[in-house]
Structure 1
Amino acid sequence: MVDPFIGTGGHGHTYPGASVPFGMVQVSPDTDNTRWDSVSGYHIDDPTMLGFSHTHLSGTGVGDMLDVLLRPGQGRVTLDPGSLMHPQGSYRARFRHEDEQAEPGYYRVRWPDEGIVSELTATGRAGMQRYHFERDGEAFVLLDFTHGIRTDNNRPTRVHDASLCWSGALLSGSRMVSEWASGREICFALEFSPAPHHVAFFVDDQPAADGTTTVSGTSLKAVCHFGRARDIITRTGISSVDVNGAKHNLATEITDWDFDGVRARARAEWESYLQRIGISGATSHQHRIMRTAMYHTLLGPTRINDCDGRYRGLDRQVHTLPPGRKDAYSTYSIWDTYRAEHPLLTLLCPERVPDIVQSLVEMMKQSGGQVPVWPLQDVDTQCMTGYHAASVVSEAANKGFGGIEYAAAWRAIRRRAFASTDGGMGEYRHRGWIPADRVGESTSRTVEYSFDDWAAAQLATRNGARADARTLLARCHSYRNLYDSHTGFIRPRLASGRWAEPFSANEMGHSGQWRDYTESNPWQATLLAQHDVYGMMDMMGGEGKFLSFLDGIFAANPALPPDAPPDISGQMGQYAHGNEPSHHIAYLYAYAGRPWQTQDRVRMIQTQLYAPRPDGMAGNEDVGQMSAWFILSALGFYPVDPTTGIYVFGSPLFTYMHLQTTGPRALVIEAPEASDTRRFIRGVSWNGQPWTKSWISHQQLANGGVLHFDMADEPDYTFGKEHKDRPPSLGRT
């Protein structure tokens, strides 16, 4: 039921190729490497294909990777990749979607003009490709080591210190790439069956001398000639450490030339994870969306250590995993994923959580106490705002996960909270807010720092730093300093203390240099203090005004200004599900005693903003966040404040769900009357006992049990209405 093509259209930014859960390798077709909608290397609208590279990002808003591109061919060799607009004379191949097939761990395509069938599969650290040439002719495989994402379409991919070597039957190489993750290193080791009878190297598209076995430079390519072969198989190991690591990964994970066997093992590994949630009572469309969402959430974070435990850290040095640790991870889109992806993993893959969180702590230690923001391989791109790794660490601590150096994490997070001046933090500490005429995205930064202070305060308390905890708890209300009671919105202030004028509720900013909001506007930013919902109510003047604001965001004119980023999409009024600042908003009604409105809004989002087609995502997948929202909401709950381990009830989508846990029994979620019309909760029981609260704790769910929902087609205005039954927030109800 998994469809890897979901998200490859619109602004989903996913890829359809082969990987395994949390794999280092993602071998997938590349149709373009120059524009925003092809940052994964692939877009469903593209008519031509460059070839198949071994590393890809799933659903990100910025591109990178696309390492080690292989392009099978016959006859005349062309080194020019051309472009989407001008493919003539290049090595691009036309393809048709009816000739594509994709499933977890496998991809296949046929190029009709050349009669070449290519198949892809993968292990955790190696990729395998199989080519069949339908016609007789001289076969070759082109390795384009210049290929990669081009964040500036006017210049080639920035490659440094590249080298290629042909030794015996092995083609290997390494390069440094300075695109988004500037300076990241990648190495590979590649074998063929049959072995090529000749390998020709090219430097700056000029042929190297005959007999050359090693080349270096910034623009390298190799053409492997096979004579009149009809079938060629490649197997490629990847490493961010060195070529020996890539060789070892390849020798360890792919020991023969059995492509179908590797494909079967990848399929079995996917099945073992996809079976962790069983569902029934779903339509075929819902089933496909749910299974594909699970697939997408399991693509990241990605492992970065070699089979021998070595990996390259943020200090660019090679480290070895200590005894007891299985994997090191990277590819953390934390600004997005702290909200639902990381909470989902604590339920779905709890055995991986200690290593995933400890990897963040190791990054803090390797970078001199810096808190990682968006780490990719051995580089922290520092993309996005806030220091939300504090949320991921605090969540793990509050949920009782061991094997994590919480004291070391607190030292780095304390430095960020109390000493750093990056991203306006100095202004924030001094004023309690960030001036819009001094720091970009000042309004969102202020609110996000308030949330991070709350997450940090919990770690401070855990580590016995009571004075720091008190300071942070006071500071976590700082978002209120940007609330304008006259307009009813959080809005930018200038260093003088005056409000930035003029004001519009859908504005992006006042400066030609930067925006005031991070991929959002005043509507979403005003509700961004997800840790202090009752404080937001007080700020707005009470429960009634808070509810009016919630109703208003869904009813507002959806118009956006011309400078709005394309990430703000999937709109219902000014609620924008295509970007993460909106993801918790529908669940806020429960805090005001109206969980029935949460149930109604959540079901609308589930059914209207997710679809089983390439453009079936409302916005960027963002390394699992968009899908994690759907999965948790389909289960019937969502973590508005992920640090607390509290899940707010929404509207369970299926009649029966079964989730494996590490507790003494499985978690069973029953909603036998759930349907398109029966979206409202009439009553809840937990392990057979009545449950009147509109929320439940992580510990209860993780221990297993039976959560039963009675569903109805009309709201029950009494369920969850009493103050004692509303979700806690910042320690109060």
Structure 2
Amino acid sequence: MKCSYLNIRRSTKSSLYFLLLLAPIISLLGCKNQAGSAADDNVRFVDPLIGSGGHGHVFLGASVPHGMVQVGPNNLSKGWDWCSGYHDSDTTIIGFAQTHLSGTGIADLGDVLFMPTGNFKQPSAADTTRTASFYYSTFNKKNQKVRPGYYSVNLNRYNIKVELTATERCSFQTYSYPKDSAANVVINLAESVQSLMARKGTTGSSLTIINDTTVAGFRSSDEWARDHKVYFVSVFSKPIVSKSLLKGQTTDGGKTATSTEGVVSLLSFKNDGKSLSIKTGISYTSTDGAALNLKSEIKSWDFAAIKNEATSRWNSSLASFNFKSKDSLTKVKFYTALYHTQISPSLFSDADGKYRGADGKVYSSNSNTYSVFSLWDTYRAVHPLYTLTDTAVSSYANTLLQINSQQKRMPVWHLAGNETDCMVGVHSIPVLIDAYLKGFNIDKEKLWNAVKDFDQYDQNGLKAIRERGYIPADQEVWSVAKGLEYAIDYDAIAKLAKDLGYKAEAEKYAKLAKSYQQYFDKQSGFMRGKLANGQWRANFNPYHSLHLEDDYVEGNAWQYTWLVPQDVEGLVGLFGGKAPFTKKLDSLFTVSSALNEGASIDITGMIGQFAHGNEPSHHISYLYPFVGQQWKTAEKVRQVCNQFYKASPDGLIGNEDCGQMSAWYIFSALGFYPVNPVNGLFVFGSPLADEVEINLNNGKKFKITAQYNSAKNKFIQSVKLNGKAYTKTYIKYQQIMEGGELIYVMGSKPNYNYGKEKADWPVSNPSKEN
């Protein structure tokens, strides 16, 4: 039946959480689903609510690993802690959006909301009040269920049960209305997870009634992603009986509604006692692409089948690790962390390979392309983790090379076809080079051509490094942070040039990688801002931080002084050797944790001035083995794991940042961490796993066992690799990828002799011999 918008008919906490958490844990031994036996049903160990409170900012809803769709609830509230659309402190819902970000510190996506309703008082045409405030509902946390690939909730206001699941590019929603209730659906193209940045929001939208069971449309916006476009096609299991327009104007004889501020439409259906289901395909290229995705991925109205397939997809992905621990909550935290690392990067190409390029044009690719690259965060541990188990590493890398070709520079933080230029450094460079050096399928000529002229970039202080050797603090904001991060990028290029046999270029970039030394003040013992005249910035305070304007970004001198993962030996030398370096590093964890008024809100998870809640600190606790004191790393790592990772909504101490906070925990649970994310070397800490088998992406297996492991026995006494005594305090990527077994022998007191000899220390630039 065809309808016209001109023919309008108006339709008239913590104790409870703990018990809810224990329930699935108590029943673990009896769990089994269609994905396989209980042994490979790792979905049951995942608690997606971890990180949904506090400042974790994680996505809550239904998706499949690295899917284009993340369908889930948006709260009525807005603000920094609602960057994912949902926060555990909130009990309101304005709709279920098709896309979300997970763990970021800036908001975007949350597009194309569907909200089932009964009757409500609709706004008048002249009313400028936010439309969602007229129809939103509250909900009770006890009526909310969430696991990977599935979400359900009861809406208090309308007594409607909502169930959500997803495929890669589509969502499947089911609404169960109470008897005698109106059966309405609001489609809201005005709302999103509004960016905190001062941009325009919605810039265009359209909703077209294709027939009595199908609608199509799009939303464009200028938010964090300045030119964001998402298209959708939705098919309903029942005919549309009538419709009214809450926001927008009609065209095309009333079949289409448009608005530069966002269409909001109310569709009504017959309440025949049966649930209403909605299948929605999305695309970043066109409504045709959305229709193709929907046709390709959801061929029936069997919600249970799609849900079970999503569960199966998650079980398959989570099976990359078979993790065992006597502590059930440790297992929950591990598999939840693994789940969080597998939400992004998100699929960006349609079922036929078409995708929107960084220049706004539509391209076609023979392999999947991806979006959501939070590279300032994820280059540190997420991408090194992928090189162990993820089979899509080459696709991520080739996507980054495609972006470089289209926007004519290397990506920084890419979102939905847009360069956000968020944070500092250009860390697509170490991600790509690390993957190439580890043997993944990346065209070396394309890679070299993409990075070889990086020293000629002019933006964000890079020109100053070329001309002066450093970034003047009185000419460029975040000068120290930028300079230190660029040095890491330079080091990666030097490694690539050396591997390719380009001696002159390798020497040039190796010299640039030492530019971090320009910011080190030997007198104070800190990295600090240097002015254009060569003098240090006056009134220096290593505790001081500002949120937006400073020599550092989201940190202070105490945290940034250690940001030299590419040359730890050189940093030790700046301090004057092992003893003063160790003394200074010890003091980081013991000085006052006080921060000035106006300090960055991202400086959290404090032990002294060590701040685990933000990424520049993530490698610091693993620096002690570089000076022969591995036991101190074991002590600090266990403290961080116990203090800052909890099985509760506030269980993450800072923004999850697209998997980085979780990747740190995963590596630490294995007993090692990639201090330098481009040298293929993992430094030992203190394993949480009693036993874990890694199913590597080359088909081999690597087993890790921690003998006598316990909360008390946190210190490594000795190590065996493939049955032989192993005295080094690190392991190489290639050793892991060959398969085999690593055995830690744990004890309650430090073995001061383990890793004491310099020959057993990790090195920043390992050779084949070490």
Do the aligned residues in 2 keep the contact of 1:333 with 1:374 (CA within 8 Å)?
yes
Report the CA distance between 1:674 and its aligned residue: 0.8
Report the CA distance between 1:112 and its aligned residue: 2.2
Aligned residue in 2 for 1:399? 438
Report the CA distance between 1:117 and its aligned residue: 0.6
Aligned residue in 2 for 1:330? 371
Aligned residue in 1 for 2:15? none
Report the CA distance between 1:229 and its aligned residue: 4.1
* 79 and 45 in structure 1: CA distance in 2 versus 1, 3 angstrom threshold: farther
Aligned residue in 2 for 1:339? 380
1:30-80 C-alpha deviation (Å, 9 max, x unpaired): 014631100100001112111100000000011100111001011236369
* Aligned mates of 2:614, 2:557 — CA distance in 1: 14
* 717 and 179 in structure 1: CA distance in 2 versus 1, 3 angstrom threshold: same
TM-score (ref. length: structure 2): 0.91
Residue 352 of structure 1 pairs with residue 392 of structure 2 = yes
Report the CA distance between 1:389 and its aligned residue: 1.0
Report the CA distance between 1:113 and its aligned residue: 2.9
* 229 and 66 in structure 1: CA distance in 2 versus 1, 3 angstrom threshold: farther
Residue aligned with 2:461, SS: helix
Q: 653, 663, 666: which one pairs with 1:628? A: 663
The aligned amino acid for 2:651 is G
* 336 and 88 in structure 1: CA distance in 2 versus 1, 3 angstrom threshold: closer
The aligned amino acid for 2:410 is V
Report the CA distance between 1:300 and its aligned residue: 0.8
Which sections of structure 2, spanning at least 5 residues, go unmatched?
1-44
* 717 and 454 in structure 1: CA distance in 2 versus 1, 3 angstrom threshold: same
Residue aligned with 2:134, SS: coil
Q: 624, 627, 644: which one pairs with 2:679? A: 644
Do the aligned residues in 2 keep the contact of 1:506 with 1:560 (CA within 8 Å)?
yes
The aligned amino acid for 2:50 is I
Aligned residue in 2 for 1:411? 449
Do the aligned residues in 1 keep the contact of 2:719 with 2:742 (CA within 8 Å)?
yes
Q: 188, 193, 210: which one pairs with 1:144? A: 188
* Aligned mates of 1:361, 1:409 — CA distance in 2: 7
Matches for 1:5-404 after TM superposition, within 5 Å: 5-32=49-76, 34-76=78-120, 78=122, 90-152=134-196, 158-168=201-211, 169-204=213-248, 208=250, 212-218=254-260, 219-230=262-273, 231-322=275-366, 325=367, 327-349=368-390, 351-368=391-408, 370-402=409-441, 404=442
Aligned residue in 1 for 2:530? 493
The aligned amino acid for 1:460 is A
Residue 478 of structure 1 pairs with residue 521 of structure 2 = no
Report the CA distance between 1:200 and its aligned residue: 3.1
* Aligned mates of 2:586, 2:251 — CA distance in 1: 71
1:282-316 C-alpha deviation (Å, 9 max, x unpaired): 31211111110010001111110000011111011
**Runs of 4+, deviation exceeding 4 Å:** 85-89, 152-155, 208-211
* Aligned mates of 1:273, 1:560 — CA distance in 2: 41
Residue 469 of structure 1 pairs with residue 506 of structure 2 = yes
Report the CA distance between 1:519 and its aligned residue: 1.1
Do the aligned residues in 2 keep the contact of 1:33 with 1:149 (CA within 8 Å)?
no
* Aligned mates of 2:362, 2:130 — CA distance in 1: 42
1:235-282 C-alpha deviation (Å, 9 max, x unpaired): 100000000000000011011111111100000100111122112223
Report the CA distance between 1:16 and its aligned residue: 1.5
1:473-532 C-alpha deviation (Å, 9 max, x unpaired): 0111111111111111111111111111101111126xx972110211101111001110
1:306-343 C-alpha deviation (Å, 9 max, x unpaired): 00011111011111113xx3x11110000000000001
The aligned amino acid for 1:335 is W
Report the CA distance between 1:731 and its aligned residue: 4.8
* Aligned mates of 1:533, 1:7 — CA distance in 2: 32
Do the aligned residues in 2 keep the contact of 1:78 with 1:90 (CA within 8 Å)?
yes
Aligned residue in 1 for 2:26? none
The aligned amino acid for 2:62 is A
Residue aligned with 2:623, SS: helix
The aligned amino acid for 1:262 is I
Aligned residue in 2 for 1:577? 612
* Farther off after superposition, 636-645 or 145-154: 145-154
Do the aligned residues in 2 keep the contact of 1:79 with 1:91 (CA within 8 Å)?
no
The aligned amino acid for 2:419 is D
Residue aligned with 1:3, SS: coil
* Aligned mates of 1:149, 1:88 — CA distance in 2: 13
* Aligned mates of 1:507, 1:141 — CA distance in 2: 51
Do the aligned residues in 2 keep the contact of 1:639 with 1:645 (CA within 8 Å)?
yes
Which sections of structure 1, spanning at least 5 residues, go unmatched?
none
How many pairs align?
A: 718
Do the aligned residues in 1 keep the contact of 2:77 with 2:90 (CA within 8 Å)?
no
Residue aligned with 2:580, SS: helix
* 730 and 309 in structure 1: CA distance in 2 versus 1, 3 angstrom threshold: same
* Farther off after superposition, 722-731 or 374-383: 722-731
Residue aligned with 2:692, SS: strand
Do the aligned residues in 2 keep the contact of 1:687 with 1:705 (CA within 8 Å)?
yes
Aligned residue in 2 for 1:613? 648
Report the CA distance between 1:468 and its aligned residue: 1.7
Residue 693 of structure 1 pairs with residue 728 of structure 2 = yes
1:120-168 C-alpha deviation (Å, 9 max, x unpaired): 100000001111112312211000111112235999x622232211111
Do the aligned residues in 1 keep the contact of 2:613 with 2:654 (CA within 8 Å)?
yes
Do the aligned residues in 1 keep the contact of 2:76 with 2:133 (CA within 8 Å)?
no
Aligned residue in 2 for 1:706? 741
The aligned amino acid for 1:569 is T
Aligned residue in 1 for 2:473? 436
